[in-house]
Structure 1
Amino acid sequence: MSSRLSPLATANFRWFFIGQVVNRLGGSMAGVALAFAVLEIDDSASALGWVVAASSIPMVVFMLLGGAIADRLPRAVVLRGCNYIQGVAQSITALLVITGRAEIWHLIVLQAVAGVVFAVSYPAFLGMVPILLPAGERQSAFLLIGQATSAVSIVGPALSGVLVATAGPGWALAIDASSYLIAASLLVLVRLPPGDRSTARASVLGDVAAGWAFARKLGWVIPGASCALVFNALVSGGIFVLGPVIAHDTIGSKGWGLATSAQAVGVFVAAFFLAKAKLSRPMKAIMVAFVLWCVPMLVLGTRVELWLLAIAFFVAGAALSLLDLSWNLLVQEKVPEAMLSRIMAIDGFFSFVATPIGQIAVGPLVGAFGATGVEIGFFVVAVLVACFALTRRVLTDLRLTGAPPPELA
C-alpha cells in the first residue's frame, strides 16, 4: 500500500490536488459571503431562498447530462472549462456587489449559471483520480482530498466571516472567483492522453441513456444510490434544518457552530486511520457509515449538550470519510474509465435531489410529532434502511479484489 503522501509525487495529481484545494478554499468562503450579500440587498429569508435554489435546481436537473459530457470529453479539459466559466460568473457577482449595483435577479441568474456548471464539473472531478494514479495510490489520494476538504471547510468560513465584517461580502466573493481561475490555470499543467471513447453514442443524450443502462446492468448502483437518497434526505432535514432550531433553544448558535465544526475534524482524523485500512466489503462499510452519519440526530432528540453533540458530529465526520472512500474505491474498481463520470452523476443526482425533499418534509413532521420525536424517528428510519440494505445480496456480495476495472463492451 502506498504512503499517505505518495500520490503527490505524481505531477499530474499534484497539480490537480493543489488546484482543488485552492478551489475548495474559495468555495468554502463563498457561502457566507453570498448570504450576507443577498441580505444587504433584501433582508428577507425568501430572497436568500431564491438565490440558493437558483443554483441547486439546475444542479439536479443537469447532473445526468453533466456526467455524460464529462465521460465524452477529456475530464481535465472539462474541469478547466468549468472553472473558467465559474470564475467569470463569480467575478461578475463580486463586481456587482462591490460597486453596490447587485440586484436579487442578478444573483439568481449568476447562481443558476453556477448550478449548471457544477452539474458538469462534479462528475468530471469524481472521475479524475482513477485516470491520474495507478490503483495502489488511489486510496491515499481519496483520503488526501477528503482531509484537504475538511481542513478548508473549517478555515474558509472563518476567513470569510472576518472579510465580510471588515471589507464587505464582495471581496470574499472576489477571492472565490480568483480561486476558480487559479485552479483552471493549474489544470493546464495536467497532461493526460485522451481516453478511449470508441463506445460513445452519436449524441450526449445517447450517452446518458447508455450510462443509465450500464448502471442497471451492474445491479448495485441504483439500490446504493436509492439508500443515499434516503440518508441525505434524513440528514438535510433532521440535522441541517431541524438541528439549528433545537440548538437555538439549548446550546445557542455559538454552541451549534462549535459542535458542527467537529464533523470536519472527524473527517480529517479518520483519514489517518483509513490510510492503513483494507476494505473488502465496501457496501457493508457504506451502510454502517450512513447510520453513524446520523448519530447527531440521536443526541438532538435526547440530551443536547455541547460536548456530547460535538462527539456525535466527530463520529459523523469519521463516518463520512469511510463512506466516501468506500464508494470511490468501489466505483473505480467495478466501473470502466469511460463510464466513471456517468455512474458518479447518477449517485450525485440521487443525493442532491434528496436535499430539498428532507428540507420540505421536516416542517410538517415536526408539527405532527414534535422536534425530538422527528429526530428519534429519523434515526430509527436510518437504522432500518441500513439493515434492509444489508439483507440485499446484490449489495453485500460486492468485494474489492484489487482487480482492474472491466472493459466496456
Structure 2
Amino acid sequence: MPARWNLAPLSGRPFRWFFLGEVVNSAGSSMSGVALAFAVLGISDSASALGWVLAAWTVPMVGFMLLGGAVSDRLPRALVLRGCNLVQALVQATTAVLVLTGTAQIWELAVLQFVAGTVFAVSYPAFHGMVPVLVPEPDRKAAYLLMGQSESALRIIGPALSGVLVATVGPGWALAADAATYAVAAGFLTAVSLPLGLRPDRKPSVIGDFAAGWSFARHLGWVIPVASCSLVFNALVSGAIGVLGPSIAEGTIGSSGWGLARAAEALGIFVAAMFLGRVHIGRPLRACVLGFTCTGAPMLVLGTWVETPVLAAGFLVSGIGLAVLNLAWSMTVQQKVPEEMLSRVMSIDGFFSFVAMPIGQLAAGPLALAFGARDVELGCVVVCVVVGVAGATRPVIRNVTLARTSGGEAALAD
C-alpha cells in the first residue's frame, strides 16, 4: 500500500484551527532563517557578527525556558500561544522595516532577537503541550506526522524562495512575510478555546510548579540523559550549520544554493514522515539519538566538497534523521507524561537541548579564524558521531521500548 497522508486528526475542529495556524506560521518561519542570516552578513561580512545575533535569540530562549514551561502549564496554552504570536509579529515587522530601509544595525537586530528568544521560551513548551489535549490518543501519531509533513513541505519551498528573494530584492521582504504569518496564526488560534485542564498538584507560585516538574522529570530518569545528548548536537548544529554554513556558502554556492540545499532537509523530513506511520519504532530514545547523529551529514559536505547537489544530499539525510527523532520523542512524551506536566517536561528537555547553542554560535567564528572553517566542520562531524554512539548505547536510553498493542499502536514499556 503506498504511503499517504492520514487526515483523521483534522476531523476535530480545535486541532484543525491549531493546525492551520501552525501551517501559516511555518510558511513564514521557513523563510526567515535564511533571510536573517544574509541580512546580518549584508551589514557585517563576519561570521562572528552573525553568531552574536543568533546568540541574542538563543540566550534568553534558554534562560527563560524552564519558567516558560511552568507558565504554560498554569495558563490555557492556546491563550499563551496567541499572545506569543502577536509579540513575534511585532518583532519581525520591526526587523523587516529596519532591513528594508537600510538602517538596520547589528545591535538593533540583536535586541530584537533577544525579545523573540524570550517569547519563544514560553511558546515552545506551550506548543508541545497542545496535541495531547486536542487529539484523542489513537490519532496522535497521525497528528504528529501530519504536522511534520506539512511543516517540511513548506520548508522545502521556503528556504529556496527566501534565497531567491535575498539574491533579488533583499532579505527584508522575507522577514516581512514572516511577520504577517505570525499575525494570521494568532487569528487562527482565537478559534481554539480550551478550558484549563485539572491541576491537582498546582503550587502557589510558578517557581513551585517548576520544582514539581523538575522532580517528575528526574523521576522518569530518561529525560535529562536524552536532552544532554541533544545539548551537544544542537551546539554543533548551531555553530557548524547556523553560523559557518552561510559563511561558507557565501563564498561558494551563494544564498540561492544555500537556500536550495537547506530545503532538502525539509524534503527528507517530508519523505520520511510519509512512511513512518507504518513503521514501529521499538526503541524510541535510541532512535532519537541516532536520528540526531544524521545532522553530521551536511557538516561533512561543508568540510569537504561544497556543491549544491552534494550539500542537498547531506541535508536530505539530516532531514530523515530529524523526522525519526521528532516522532520518536513525541510518542514517548505523550504516552509517559500526564497532561498537567507536558509543558514543564518539554521545557526541561528544551533547556538542556538548547543551553549550549550560544556556545556553538559564539565559538564558531573564532574557531574558524584559528583553524579554518572547513576543518571546524570536520571536527564537528567527529564529535557528532562519538556522541551518537555513546548515547545510543547507554542503558537508560537503550532500554526504553515501545511495545506493540493489539490495535497496532504503540504503548510504552521500560
TM-score (norm 1): 0.86
Q: Which of 355, 358, 368 matches 2:357?
A: 355
Gap change, CA 1:163 and 1:333, over 3 Å in 2: same
Assess if the C-alpha contact under 8 Å between 2:54 and 2:361 holds in 1: no
Q: Which of 288, 291, 294 matches 1:292?
A: 294
Q: Distance in 2 between matches of 1:141 and 1:389?
A: 28
Assess if the C-alpha contact under 8 Å between 1:15 and 1:189 holds in 2: yes
Give 1:279's aligned residue.
281
Assess if the C-alpha contact under 8 Å between 1:87 and 1:177 holds in 2: yes
Assess if the C-alpha contact under 8 Å between 1:335 and 1:405 holds in 2: no
Secondary structure of the 2:263 match is helix
Secondary structure of the 2:356 match is helix
* 2:387 partner amino acid: V
Q: Which moved more, 1:145-154 or 1:202-211?
A: 145-154
Q: Does 1:262 align with 2:233?
A: no
Give 1:61's aligned residue.
63
Give 1:136's aligned residue.
138
Give 2:24's aligned residue.
22
Counterpart mapping for 1:327-338 below 5 A: 327-338=329-340
Q: Which of 305, 321, 324 matches 2:323?
A: 321
1:144-177 deviation digits (Å, cap 9, x = unpaired): 2112222222333444456567776555444322
Assess if the C-alpha contact under 8 Å between 1:333 and 1:400 holds in 2: no
* 1:69 partner amino acid: V
Give 1:11's aligned residue.
13
Q: Distance in 2 between matches of 1:8 and 1:124?
A: 20
* Aligned alpha-carbon RMSD (Å): 3.2
Q: Distance in 2 between matches of 1:149 and 1:368?
A: 38
Q: Distance in 2 between matches of 1:364 and 1:99?
A: 31
1:105-158 deviation digits (Å, cap 9, x = unpaired): 554443322221111001111111111111221112112211222222233344
Give 1:218's aligned residue.
220
Gap change, CA 1:285 and 1:58, over 3 Å in 2: same
How far has the Cα of 1:182 moved from its partner?
1.5
Assess if the C-alpha contact under 8 Å between 1:93 and 1:107 holds in 2: yes
How many residues are matched? 404
Q: Which of 213, 230, 237 matches 2:239?
A: 237
Secondary structure of the 1:142 match is helix
Q: Distance in 1 between matches of 2:256 and 2:98?
A: 31
Runs of at least 5 residues in structure 1 that lack an aligned partner in the other structure: none
Assess if the C-alpha contact under 8 Å between 1:333 and 1:403 holds in 2: no
Gap change, CA 1:8 and 1:267, over 3 Å in 2: same
Secondary structure of the 1:400 match is strand
Assess if the C-alpha contact under 8 Å between 1:89 and 1:110 holds in 2: yes
TM-score (norm 2): 0.85
* 1:266 partner amino acid: G
Q: Does 1:154 align with 2:156?
A: yes
1:216-251 deviation digits (Å, cap 9, x = unpaired): 111101100000011122223334444455556766
Q: Distance in 2 between matches of 1:237 and 1:34?
A: 15
Q: Does 1:126 align with 2:128?
A: yes
Runs of at least 5 residues in structure 2 that lack an aligned partner in the other structure: 404-408
Q: Which moved more, 1:110-119 or 1:314-323?
A: 110-119
Q: Distance in 1 between matches of 2:401 and 2:268?
A: 26
How far has the Cα of 1:381 moved from its partner?
2.6
Gap change, CA 1:170 and 1:380, over 3 Å in 2: closer
Give 1:90's aligned residue.
92
How far has the Cα of 1:5 moved from its partner?
1.6
Gap change, CA 1:108 and 1:5, over 3 Å in 2: same
Q: Does 1:194 align with 2:196?
A: yes
